[in-house]
Structure 1
Amino acid sequence: ALLVLILAVFIAAFILLVVGAIYFDFSNSEIPLGVDQPVKLRIVHSILIGTAVLGKILEKLGLCSQLGFTRYMRRGKKLGEDPKLFMKDLQFGKVPVRIYQPRAPSAGRRRGVLYFHGGGWMFGSINAYETVCRYIARESESVVVSVEYRLAPEHTYPAQYEDCLTATTHFMKTAEDYGVDPAHIIISGDSAGGNLAAAVCQTLVSRPDLPKVHAQILIYPCLQAIDFDLPSYQQNCGVPILFRERMAFYVLQYLKGDASFLEDVLEGSHMPVDVKLKFRKWLSADNILKEFKVRGYKPKVPIECSNEVYEAVKKFCEPAFSPLLAEDAVVRQLPESFILTCEYDVLRDDALLYKKRLEDGGVPVTWYHIENGFHGIISLFDNGRLSFPAGKKGLDNIVNFLRSL
């Protein structure tokens, strides 16, 4: 009887947890009318919230950490054999990678694609991106290298960037061993991985000892941590699956392994006014087309910051952390680029501002904007009953770009 009672209490607690997660989702988020599959997005977000809440409960009970539980639930799994691909787990330097090679014979060497996964520099893995990387390799007939970089908060900036740079340089030097043309290597990534891809591409501009990067693919990338009040941050601050506050939390975890000074970052008091003015030519809502402000935008008056806060976060200004802030001389040398943005995404304007910088520097840019898209939609292109057709269209545009190179 006691066992039945304990089980009943556990089930009741679980139901309350689910109901609480759904209530939290409804009360703290906003799903715009124009978004793709709004009910599915609500379900996906409720699952993510429920996982986080359950992780917190388990942490309070001393069973595991919330971070460890959330990573476990999001880890994905290595899928079985693929009739069209050879797959192998390797180490490039000391960095784990998974390589996907088309089985079909090729007349010449193939293009190679490095892929850096998203997840706020804290989550994500090779396994979590199996479906995406397999699809790119199969459909574009490219060799894809998925990189398992170290994660925050255990490893902070620049560890993730260094791992991606190490894996990239190793692949460039050994490309022919995998049937890849060293002159046709593309660097890509989504979200935090898009940040890493942009940073690595900029670094390789000054590496004459290596082949030139052929192209970069940036999928809703985070490209700066100076201004969290751009139009897209204001318009989409509560749109799943990436809230404005969560983005600020992630950049702080990446930088220093904790979220102290979160409020300063959100209110914009983490950077001195003179620093903001210095970067204004590249980082300003004035550089964003009016059509992206119609859903609402209120310019914010700059406020002063304390030296203590600035000293703690001043590395936000380094181009390896905020690629949008790179010098013109670097931007002009970047390779042909593909940029994907989503309308209902706080990071939309980071990418739009970088697109403008690339175009102003004479770099060819292919831009695909998912009008009904939200952050993370590409990863959900083939997610069973919770799949999003707009994500599939976005991924197909990436494949078409690769095939055109």
Structure 2
Amino acid sequence: MAFGGSLWILILYMTIFIHSLLFAWGVCYRLTRMQLPRGISCRARLLAFDFFLGYGLVLAGILEKLGICHRYSIIRVGPLFIPIKKDPKLIIKDLDFNGVPVRVYWPKTSPAGKRRGIICVHGGVGLFGSIRTTEKICRSIAHQTDSVVMCVEFRLAPEHPYPVPVQDCLTATIHFLKNAKEYGVDPSRIAIVGESSGGTFATAICQELVTREDLPRVRAQVLVYPFLQSVDFDLPSYQQYHSVPPLFRKRAIKTGLTYLTGKKINIDGILKGAHVPPVLREKCKKWISADNIPEEFKARGYVPKAPAPFSEELYEQVKRAGETMFSPLLAEDDIIRQLPETFILTCEYDVLRDDGLLYKKRLEDNGVPVTWFHVQDGFHGIMAMAGWQSIEFPSTQKCLQNVVEFLKGL
């Protein structure tokens, strides 16, 4: 009995020691590697948020190395503790759309006719996130726009790498379009809203559907700071904000490639562009180039760099990154010009800012109506905090309200 008690005391001390080391490492690492531009509001709050995020990722990495579980399964545990409260103004049901779990929100007020339908796709790089993490945003959109909202619970990588997550979203979207009237929705008034990687999925889905004459046309796409291309990770925003939390450049690429391949890949050569075949680079330079970024966005510093020599080995590891379902900015013009009216939200302090700017230009060049909202003090993930008052930032609700106003106009 005494030995057992001593063992537990030893385990307790070891646990405290490990957490202390992690805490000290986290403080030193963040203070020496992180950039917090003065233009970001509530900088201390963002610093604290990213510290605990990084702390959790490191702890999850240790558990992965011990063979207990993969790191992303630990991050997924948190949302399970988010309480789901009843809403007196909404009917909320968990349904199955052709094998894909979804959650649908109906306003209880009597509609004058068929309602607008909104498909919401959550972020999380295809590795984490769920219906629960976007619950407050879905409820808010349903309330404020008097729309039927459907959120997709797609399967996640690394267990189900690309293209499974986006294919799940496509399957659920097609079901919703085909059966819109059954859910009280006008088939001609369905929009797709995606945040972060959800914006990537929404973009890819809209591109996939433009040739489907058997389905109602999607009315609009709403893309909130989406990832859209894997050709150039040295655009001005990638250079300027490579160390701005929470989406550091290396973190973005590492997690994105884990979603793509289901495994970890050395990204050093990919950061320098060695994975892009010369033929593809030549084809895409008219679409993906710093020359297409307005000069005002280069003012914080930009130095053009030549890509590293092409590596066949790297290309073979990540060649599916060139598919338009992963990198929608690579779609041909005949697809782009058929896309629906678009809302794009970009944040200044976000490595993905220029992806949004480049897509905005491509859409406009091809005659697609674009509404653009740029958050001057924003960073990646700022809208995902909507409804969580303790961690909301000054521009969080501003982002959501601009999305809502666009949707109300459809």
1:8 is displaced (CA, Å) by: 4.9
Mapped pair 1:196 → 2:201: yes
1:334 is displaced (CA, Å) by: 0.5
Change in 2 beyond 3 A, CA 1:11/1:316: closer
Partner of 2:84: 79
Change in 2 beyond 3 A, CA 1:219/1:76: farther
Letter paired with 2:239: Q
Mapped pair 1:291 → 2:306: no
Letter paired with 1:343: E
1: CA distance, partners of 2:100 / 2:377 = 36
The 8 Å contact of residues 90 and 97 in structure 1, kept in 2 or not, is answered as yes
The 8 Å contact of residues 269 and 308 in structure 2, kept in 1 or not, is answered as no
- Correspondent of 2:175 among 143, 164, 170: 170
Change in 2 beyond 3 A, CA 1:59/1:251: closer
Q: Which moved more, 1:389-398 or 1:61-70?
A: 61-70
Unaligned runs of 5+ in 2: none
2: CA distance, partners of 1:16 / 1:147 = 39
2: CA distance, partners of 1:19 / 1:91 = 46
Mapped pair 1:365 → 2:387: no
- SS at 1:181 equivalent: strand
- Correspondent of 2:51 among 46, 55, 58: 46
Give matches, 1:144-163, under 5 Å.
144-163=149-168
Deviations along 1:60-101, one digit per CA (max 9) or x if unpaired, are 455443222122135563511012111111111111111111
1:385 is displaced (CA, Å) by: 2.1
Partner of 2:351: 346
Partner of 1:331: 336
1:310 is displaced (CA, Å) by: 1.8
Letter paired with 1:102: P
Give matches, 1:104-183, under 5 Å.
104-183=109-188
- Correspondent of 2:223 among 218, 226, 229: 218
1: CA distance, partners of 2:328 / 2:274 = 21
Q: Percent identity?
A: 51
Mapped pair 1:377 → 2:382: yes
The 8 Å contact of residues 76 and 127 in structure 1, kept in 2 or not, is answered as no
- SS at 2:217 equivalent: coil
1: CA distance, partners of 2:258 / 2:59 = 21
- SS at 1:372 equivalent: strand
The 8 Å contact of residues 272 and 304 in structure 1, kept in 2 or not, is answered as no
The 8 Å contact of residues 78 and 130 in structure 1, kept in 2 or not, is answered as no
2: CA distance, partners of 1:65 / 1:281 = 40
Letter paired with 1:312: Q
The 8 Å contact of residues 76 and 128 in structure 1, kept in 2 or not, is answered as no
Mapped pair 1:387 → 2:387: no
Letter paired with 2:376: E
2: CA distance, partners of 1:375 / 1:197 = 17
1: CA distance, partners of 2:297 / 2:386 = 25
- Correspondent of 1:270 among 271, 275, 286: 275
Deviations along 1:232-259, one digit per CA (max 9) or x if unpaired, are 0001101111011111112211221123
- SS at 2:76 equivalent: helix
Letter paired with 2:380: H
CA root-mean-square deviation: 1.6
1:57 is displaced (CA, Å) by: 3.3
2: CA distance, partners of 1:75 / 1:361 = 43
1:37 is displaced (CA, Å) by: 1.3
1: CA distance, partners of 2:157 / 2:240 = 28
Letter paired with 2:362: R
1:271 is displaced (CA, Å) by: 0.8
The 8 Å contact of residues 381 and 390 in structure 1, kept in 2 or not, is answered as no
The 8 Å contact of residues 264 and 270 in structure 1, kept in 2 or not, is answered as yes
- SS at 1:299 equivalent: coil
1:333 is displaced (CA, Å) by: 0.7
Deviant stretches of 4+, over 6 Å: none
1: CA distance, partners of 2:140 / 2:285 = 39
| Count of paired positions | 405
Deviations along 1:26-57, one digit per CA (max 9) or x if unpaired, are 22211111012111100110110111122233
1: CA distance, partners of 2:363 / 2:43 = 33
The 8 Å contact of residues 232 and 349 in structure 1, kept in 2 or not, is answered as yes
- SS at 1:90 equivalent: strand
1:12 is displaced (CA, Å) by: 4.6
Letter paired with 2:324: P
- SS at 1:389 equivalent: coil
Q: Which moved more, 1:19-28 or 1:149-158?
A: 19-28
2: CA distance, partners of 1:177 / 1:60 = 48
Change in 2 beyond 3 A, CA 1:236/1:75: farther
2: CA distance, partners of 1:52 / 1:223 = 25
Letter paired with 1:197: A
Deviations along 1:132-169, one digit per CA (max 9) or x if unpaired, are 11111111111111101111111122111211110000
Letter paired with 2:175: H
1:196 is displaced (CA, Å) by: 0.5
Q: Which moved more, 1:373-382 or 1:20-29?
A: 20-29
Unaligned runs of 5+ in 1: none
The 8 Å contact of residues 271 and 304 in structure 1, kept in 2 or not, is answered as no
- SS at 1:384 equivalent: coil
The 8 Å contact of residues 188 and 216 in structure 2, kept in 1 or not, is answered as yes
Deviations along 1:284-307, one digit per CA (max 9) or x if unpaired, are 010010000000111111332122
Q: Which moved more, 1:254-263 or 1:355-364?
A: 254-263
